[in-house]
Structures are given as structure tokens and as C-alpha cells.
């Protein structure tokens, strides 16, 4: 296959697939309120008057400025580290960051030792997988020294993982073999592993009944909700449309209040193949027949992996419905290693980033989800049933039925939640929807029909149970053209991203309308053209770009992980930033931790006692190392930009989860 585009790494290719804006253009663009009422230059210069800024960003911005004059107390007491990039990670003084789990580490007493030159699928299924992303900690004891760590393994970088091969999707996959594909599949999915802290040090516990590797190859899953048994869910291996082998491209996720793990299937389209486009790089018009519109809207087949070359179900010519069986939220019971994970179709099918949830004040469960693609949407699911605090199993069907809605961010500061319900509004047979199953399978097309707001790549959507608000992380969107900016996506060519804060009325997360305002516009505040918005207390090290994952600590403080990928707009490593949301220091960011060159910052996850922070360092040495001064070439297995974290000449870089603790003990602050 010769692709028409050339990419420096797979992350860039992933992004480039969003280059064609797949959602239909806004009905109401041309800068809406901002360009209607103020010139773009005024916005960039930050010369808006107080009254104008209040109407755009709400009163909190002004309140924070006013309060600042009275003096501001920093709720984050750590000493900020210097921004920069090098071969290793850095954490604030007074803290230690210990490697807890690396790609290839054993998970079971019989796991073979990791040998990067003798990899096999069988070994990988007994070892920690590749490219760790989301991390959840589910406590096993009251003092927080034992727990289950649930970790997503999002994707694989073959050129760094395997000796002797270059990146394959750029050159028709000549070196991919069935054996390598099997190893890749085994390196994807989810790890569940018990960990315990002894003498201040966290370690995996191998000899227990919980540990489990879930992969696209070996784990059967059940389908529930409106698309279960749908005609478009049926394949030759599963004529019932109710059983699916595996999960893939597990990006972020969530932990439920009843102790299960949610994993989000993100860029599923990239795993599908068609012989019809394998030589031309682009799917021919009409591929998919009756499903062509759906294929096009979801970018199926993406041809980022060679799996469909060797495995029929990933070839849409042979199994045209298999792509419909991915792109869901999957619930896993980590307490039972034999449990069958469930794909909850009621939460809709799209490029799911995460699934952060809470118990609403009326007892229903609310799950927030982003669809991580340029110009795609923010979603909310509200369960039909209510949380039962008496039992874990009693809640296992809460995500099976409820109302999925999509967000419309209005000029006047309202968020309208538009229900994706068959028969309501334009979701009718005339528009091509004949059931709720159709609606959830093509949630993107349904959201298009309702006029949802086209966002700058929604990643985590993170509720903060302490202040009652919700943070929408919008990582970037360089393809938003001048004139396509709107109040909720206020910058054209938005390479730096921004964060929106939503406020439900009276703390009711199921309400039909919220309020919203922009919390920060990312990028360097010293460069006026960037149009950044930070509290002036933010230092030259503290501002960031391309926010992605978010965590809220026990005190309700926000922590943001970044993922710049290409084009690496800051030239500084990604990291974890504390971001103040309250009071006089609202909008102040501080750099706590940074990753080695080429890596992306994932996780982050606190233990309930806030004494440990788990972070995931994904794809060290992979991204943009051509621009890394002194290295200036693409990383490979033989020649990576860093051999983090082992720094041994015969060991490739290894994606790893770290445990950050305070030296001498105590809360992370
Ligand atoms: Fe896998 Fe949206 O990051
Ligand atoms: Ca992510
Ligand atoms: Ca990302």
C-alpha cells in the first residue's frame, strides 16, 4: 500500500486521518459571537474590555482578576520544575518517581522473562502490554496500600518494538508477518494487576487471583444495549451479533463507583483493511455498500495496521460488519478474572477517548465522553437506573440503558444536551434511523443531524466532584480555518488546545442545560499571536499545550497531562501540570513532572489517600525525534532517541507506569 500522505510517526498519522473534517460544517460560523462582536485582532491582543470579557468568559474570570489584587495563596506547594526535553523524566524536588511496570514485565508467576529479541504472542499475553495509557486504581484495603491497577495498552509502534523494521504503514507493510501481527494484538488491550506498597515502595503482586491480560485476540466480550443483536453487528463468527472477540485502541477510560473498570475504544477505524484500497491508500467511493456513509463518517477502513492482511475479520471486504463491533465503552469487572467484559452500546459508537462517571444527586449514573477527532463532539450518558450502594453486582447493568446526549455550546454560555433518542427530533426513518440501535451505531451521524457543536478534538471530559463542575479537554485542531472559530472553539488553527469548564445547575449532572466558559486557552502567554489565556501567575515553565488526560485529586484540584505529538508545537517535553480552578489563582498552571523525549504523558491517577500518583509514560522516543536537537532522526529499535527507562544498550525504550510518592511520605501537594 502506498499512502498518499507521509507521516513522521503513527500519532501523526492518527491525527492526519482527521484532516478531512468528517462532521458537517456548522450552520452558524464566521466566528459567531466573537467575530460578530469583536475583531479577531482584539482577541489576540487581549485588549477586550472588562464588560466584553465578562460576556464571553463569564464572571469567574473577572472575579479571579479582582481577587488576585488581594493576594493569592498557592494550593499546590510543590516547587515547579523547569520545562525542557531530554532523555529521561523529571519530577518536582522532594518527590520520587519509581518505575512500577514496564512493557514486558511479568504479571504472573509463570511469565517468561522479557526478551525483546525473542518476542512471542504467548509471552506477551503473560506480560505487561505496550503503550500504557489510562490508569485506574481500585483499592483492595482501607489504608490504600493494596489495590488493583487497571491499565490500557492503546497501540503499538512496530519500528521501535521490533528489530529491523521501519514504520510499516508508510510503505505497504512489507515486513509485517502473521507472527508480528499476533504479537501486536497481544500487546494491545488491558492489564489488570494487583499492586501493594511495602516500605514505601509499590510493587506488582504476581501470585494472586486477580491478574489478567485482556487483548483483541483472546478475550470474548458480550454486547448489551440497543445495538446488541443488530443486523449490522452480525458476522460469520458471531451470527447473533452479541459476542465480540476483544477490544482495541484502548485510550482513556474510567472507574465506576461500584468498582468496575471502563475502557474506551478510540481509533478503531485504523485497524480495518480493504484489499480494494490497500494499493491506493484511500477507500474507493461507496466502499461498504449500504454502510458507505457510516464508513466514511468513521474513517473506516483506516489501514494503519496490517491486521486485516492476515486476519479476515479485520478485512472489511470479508467482514463488513466487524468495524461496527468496535468504538464502544467496555466495562470490566476486575475482581473476577473470568468475568466477561461488556460492550455497552447505549453509550454510543465513536472514537471514545474516556468515560469518567459519577453518581448524580438523584442516584443516576452520569458518564461523560469525548469523541477525539477534529470537529467532533462531547457526549453525556445518563443511566435509567439508580446506583445501589449496597452492592457491586447490583450496579452491573446501570450502563445498559439510559439516555445518550450530545453537547451544543451556545453563544450565551448555555450548554444544551441534545438527546440522541430514536424518533425524537430529526432521528427518524426519513433521516435513515429505524431504531435506537441505528442511532447508537451511527452516533456521529445522529449528532450531526441534531446540530451538535463541532469541537477541537475532545479528549477527557472530567467531572470534579468537589467543586461540582466538569472539564472538557480539547487537545488541538489545526484544521479549524479562519472564520470557523466559535465561542467554544475560539481560535482558528488551534494547535495549542484549550479547556472548557461546564457548570451543571444546582449540581444536577442530568440537567438538560449547563453553563460553560473557557477555563484556559493553551500556549505561550508571552507570544501575543498565540492568544493564550492563563492567570498571570503562570510562569514560563507552567504554561502548556495540547491537554489530553485529566485527574482530580482528593482535594478537588485539577491535574492535566499533555500530548503534543506532531507538530510538537512547544519543543518541550509533555508533562503533568497542576491547574488551579478556584479563587485568586484560577487559571494558574505549574509543571510537576515531565516525560522523556518522544513520549506522551498519560494516566494520571491518584490513590484515594493522595499519597501516590500513578502516571503512564507512553511511546518514549517515538514522536517528533527528527526535531530533537542532537538526535534529529526517526527512532528505531536499533537507534532510539532514548532507551528510557532501562538505559541498557540491548534494551529498547519501554512504555512504563511510574508511581510518584513524596520522599518521607505524605500527600502529594
Ligand atoms: Fe488516544 Fe485521544 O488519545
Ligand atoms: Ca488520550
Ligand atoms: Ca491525545
| Per-residue pLDDT tens over the stretch 563-603 | 999 889 999 999 999 999 999 999 999 999 999 999 999 99
The boundaries of the domain holding residue 494 are: 10-37+72-266+327-662
- Lining residues, ligand 1, CB within 6 Å: 154, 251, 266, 353, 372, 459, 548
In a domain, 165, yes or no: yes
Q: Which atom of ligand 1 is nearest to the CA of 370?
A: 2
Please check whether residue 257 lies inside any domain of the structure: yes
- DSSP assignment string, 504-554: -GGG-TT-SEEEEEEEEE-S-TT-GGG--B--TT--TTT--S-EEEEEE-T
Looking at the domain assignment, is residue 293 inside a domain?
no
Residue with cell 468504538: 327
Closest-approaching ligand to the CA atom of 475: 3
Residue 176 inside a domain? The answer is yes
Residues with CB under 5 Å of ion ligand 3 are 548, 563
Q: Give distance in angstroms: CA of 264 to centre of ligand 2.
A: 10
Ligand 1 atom at minimal distance to the Cα of residue 251: 1
Q: Could you report the per-residue pLDDT of 462-487, keeping only the tens digit for each?
A: 999 999 999 999 999 999 999 999 99
Helix, strand, or coil here: 661? strand
- Whole-number Å distance, alpha carbon 576 to ligand 2 midpoint, is 13
Confidence of residue 25 (pLDDT cuts 50, 70, 90): low
Instruction: Read off the pLDDT of residues 501-547 as tens digits, 9 standing for 90 and up.
Output: 999 999 999 999 999 999 999 999 999 999 999 999 999 999 999 99
Q: Which atom of ligand 1 is nearest to the CA of 459?
A: 2
Distance of CA 232 from the midpoint of ligand 3 (Å) = 29
Q: Per the domain annotation, does 458 fall within a domain? A: yes
pLDDT score, position 36: 30
Output the pLDDT for position 391: 84
Nearest ligand, measured from the Cα of 565: 3
Asked whether residue 348 is domain-assigned, the answer is yes
Put the strands of the sheet holding 250-255 in their side by side order. 243-245, 220-224, 342-344, 329-332, 261-265, 250-255
Residue 157 has pLDDT above 80, yes or no: yes
Centroid of ligand 3 to alpha carbon of 495 (angstroms) = 12
User: In angstroms, what is the span from residue 372 Cα to ligand 3's centroid?
Assistant: 8
Q: Of all protein residues, whose CA lies closest to atom 1 belonging to ligand 1?
A: 251
Atom of ligand 1 minimally distant from the CA of 266: 1
Instruction: Tell me the average pLDDT across 406-428.
Output: 98
- Contacts of 618 by beta carbon, 8 Å cutoff, 6+ apart: 131, 132, 133, 154, 599, 600, 601, 602, 655
- By CB atoms closer than 10 A (0-12, 13-18, 19+), residue 74 is middle
Scanning the structure block, which residue is given the C-alpha cell 484560577?
586
pLDDT reading at 21 higher than 90:
no
The answer to whether residue 16 is domain-embedded is yes
Tell me the ligand closest to 252's alpha carbon: 2
Which region among 57-66, 412-421, 506-515, 565-574 has the lowest average model confidence (pLDDT)? 57-66
CA of 134 to the centre of ligand 2 (A): 8
Index of the ligand 1 atom closest to the CA of residue 563 = 3
> DSSP string covering 164-208, please?
T---STTTT-TT--HHHHHHHHHHSEEEEEEEEEETTEEEEE-SS
Strand partners, 106: 127
pTM of the model: 0.91
> How many other β-carbons are positioned within 10 Å of the β-carbon of residue 63?
14
- The percent of residues above 90 in pLDDT, for the chain, comes to 86
Q: Which residues contact residue 33 at a Cβ distance below 8 angstroms, ignoring those fewer than 6 apart? A: 56, 411, 486, 487
Question: Which ligand 1 atom lies nearest to the CA of residue 267?
Answer: 1
* Ligand 3 centre distance from Cα of residue 377 (Å): 15
Whether 42 is covered by a domain: the verdict is no
Domain count, the chain: 1
Say how far apart CA 26 and CA 135 lie, in whole Å. Answer: 35
Amino acid at each position: 500500500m502506498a499512502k498518499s500522505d507521509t507521516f513522521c510517526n503513527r500519532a501523526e498519522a492518527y491525527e492526519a486521518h482527521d484532516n478531512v473534517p468528517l462532521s458537517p460544517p456548522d450552520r452558524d460560523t464566521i466566528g459567531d459571537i466573537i467575530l460578530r462582536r469583536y475583531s479577531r485582532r482584539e482577541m489576540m491582543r487581549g485588549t477586550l474590555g472588562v464588560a466584553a470579557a465578562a460576556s464571553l468568559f463569564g464572571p469567574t474570570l473577572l472575579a479571579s482578576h479582582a481577587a488576585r489584587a488581594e493576594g493569592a495563596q498557592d494550593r499546590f506547594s510543590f516547587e515547579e520544575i523547569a520545562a525542557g526535553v531530554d532523555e529521561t523524566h523529571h519530577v518536582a524536588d522532594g518527590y520520587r518517581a519509581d518505575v512500577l511496570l514496564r512493557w514486558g514485565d511479568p504479571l504472573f508467576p509463570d511469565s517468561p522473562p522479557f526478551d525483546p529479541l525473542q518476542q512471542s504472542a504467548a509471552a506477551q499475553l503473560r506480560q505487561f502490554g505496550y503503550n500504557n495509557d489510562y490508569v485506574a486504581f481500585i483499592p483492595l484495603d482501607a489504608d490504600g496500600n493494596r489495590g488493583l491497577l487497571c491499565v490500557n495498552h492503546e497501540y503499538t509502534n512496530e519500528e521501535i518494538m521490533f528489530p529491523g523494521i521501519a514504520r510499516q504503514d508508510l510503505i505497504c507493510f512489507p515486513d509485517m508477518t502473521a507472527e508480528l501481527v499476533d504479537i501486536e494484538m497481544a500487546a494491545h488491550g488491558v492489564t489488570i494487576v494487583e499492586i501493594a506498597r511495602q516500605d514505601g515502595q509499590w510493587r506488582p503482586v504476581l501470585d494472586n487471583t486477580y491478574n489478567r491480560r485482556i487483548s483483541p485476540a483472546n478475550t470474548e466480550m458480550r454486547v448489551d444495549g440497543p445495538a446488541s443483536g443488530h443486523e449490522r453487528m452480525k458476522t460469520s463468527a458471531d451470527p447473533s451479533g452479541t459476542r465480540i472477540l476483544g477490544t482495541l485502541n484502548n485510550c482513556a477510560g474510567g472507574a465506576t463507583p461500584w468498582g468496575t473498570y471502563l475502557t474506551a475504544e478510540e481509533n478503531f477505524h485504523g485497524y480495518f483493511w480493504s484489499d480494494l484500497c490497500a494499493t491506493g491508500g484511500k477507500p474507493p467511493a461507496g466502499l461498504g455498500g449500504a454502510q458507505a456513509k457510516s464508513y466514511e463518517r468513521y474513517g473506516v477502513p483506516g489501514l494503519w495496521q496490517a491486521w486485516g492482511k492476515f486476519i479476515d475479520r479485520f478485512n472489511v471486504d470479508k467482514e463488513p460488519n466487524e468495524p461496527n463491533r468496535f468504538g464502544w465503552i467496555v466495562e470490566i469487572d476486575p475482581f473476577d478474572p473470568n468475568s466477561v467484559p461488556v460492550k455497552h452500546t447505549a453509550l454510543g459508537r465513536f472514537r471514545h477517548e474516556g468515560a469518567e462517571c459519577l453518581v448524580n444527586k438523584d442516584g443516576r449514573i452520569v458518564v461523560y465522553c469525548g469523541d477525539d477527532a477534529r470537529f467532533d463532539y462531547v457526549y453525556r450518558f445518563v443511566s435509567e437506573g439508580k446506583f445501589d450502594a449496597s452492592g457491586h453486582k447490583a450496579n452491573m447493568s446501570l450502563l445498559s440503558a439510559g439516555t445518550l446526549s450530545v453537547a451544543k455550546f451556545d453563544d450565551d454560555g448555555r450548554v444544551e444536551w441534545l438527546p440522541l433518542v430514536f424518533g425524537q427530533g430529526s432521528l427518524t426513518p426519513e433521516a435513515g434511523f429505524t431504531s435506537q440501535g441505528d442511532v447508537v451505531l451511527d452516533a456521529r451521524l445522529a449528532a450531526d443531524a441534531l446540530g451538535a457543536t463541532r469541537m477541537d478534538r475532545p479528549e477527557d471530559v472530567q467531572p470534579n466532584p468537589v467543586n461540582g463542575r466538569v472539564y472538557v479537554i480539547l487537545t488541538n485542531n489545526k484544521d479549524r480555518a479562519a472564520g470557523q472559530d466559535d465561542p467554544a472553539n475560539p481560535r482558528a488553527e488551534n494547535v495549542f488546545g484549550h479547556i472548557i469548564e461546564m457548570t451543571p445547575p444546582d449540581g444536577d449532572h442530568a440537567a438538560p442545560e449547563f453553563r460553560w466558559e473557557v477555563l484556559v486557552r493553551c500556549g505561550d502567554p508571552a507570544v501575543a499571536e498565540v492568544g493564550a489565556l492563563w492567570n498571570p501567575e503562570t510562569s514560563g515553565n507552567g504554561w502548556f499545550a495540547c491537554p489530553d488526560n485529566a485527574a482530580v485529586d482528593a482535594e478537588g484540584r485539577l491535574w492535566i497531562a499533555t500530548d503534543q505529538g506532531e507538530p510538537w508545537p512547544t519543543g518541550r517535553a509533555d508533562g503533568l501540570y497542576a491547574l488551579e480552578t478556584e479563587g485568586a489563582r484560577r487559571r494558574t498552571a505549574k509543571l510537576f513532572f515531565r516525560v522523556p523525549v518522544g513520549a506522551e504523558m498519560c494516566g494520571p491517577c491518584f490513590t484515594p489517600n493522595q499519597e501516590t500518583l500513578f502516571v503512564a509514560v507512553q511511546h518514549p522516543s517515538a514522536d517528533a525525534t527528527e526535531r530533537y536537537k542532537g538526535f534529529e532522526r526517526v527512532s528505531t529499535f536499533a537507534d532510539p532517541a532514548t532507551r528510557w527507562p532501562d538505559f541498557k544498550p540491548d534494551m529498547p525504550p519501554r512504555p512504563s507506569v511510574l508511581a510518584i510518592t513524596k520522599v518521607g511520605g505524605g500527600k502529594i501537594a
